[in-house]
Amino acid sequence: MNPSLLDLFTIGIGPSSSHTVGPMRAAKRFVDALAATGTAVARLRCSTYGSLAATGKGHGTDKALVLGFLGETPEGVDADQVEARIAAVRRSGIAVA
């Protein structure tokens, strides 16, 4: 099998893919692992550090994390629906800081 550029690079929601792809994948892996245990979650708090904490909101890290917790992947998320999905989460009463 010949490697593709997509094996090396993934374009994520922006404005900064470097601040969204990893966090979205990590959040999805977390919820997948949690689901495998059968554990019910009543509350979840997520903290970021380093450059993700310093510039995360401006670069979309917060949105990427929420989408990852909702089960989205960088490759599969519908970029046209990101704002609507985040707005729906906010309307649901879930705090997104």
pLDDT at 65 over 90: yes
Share of the chain above pLDDT 90, in %: 45
Q: Residues 44, 69: contact at Cβ < 8 Å?
A: yes
Q: What is the mean pLDDT of residues 42-56?
A: 86
Q: Which residues contact 11 (CB under 8 A, 6 or more apart)?
A: 17, 74
Q: What is the mean pLDDT of residues 37-51?
A: 87
Q: Residues 24, 16: contact at Cβ < 8 Å?
A: no
* Per-residue pLDDT tens over the stretch 21-43: 999 999 999 999 999 999 888 88
User: Regarding predicted confidence, which is higher, 2 or 6?
Assistant: 2
**Banded pLDDT at 10 (limits 50, 70, 90):** low
For residues 30 and 93, give the distance between their C-alpha atoms in angstroms, rounded to a whole number: 22
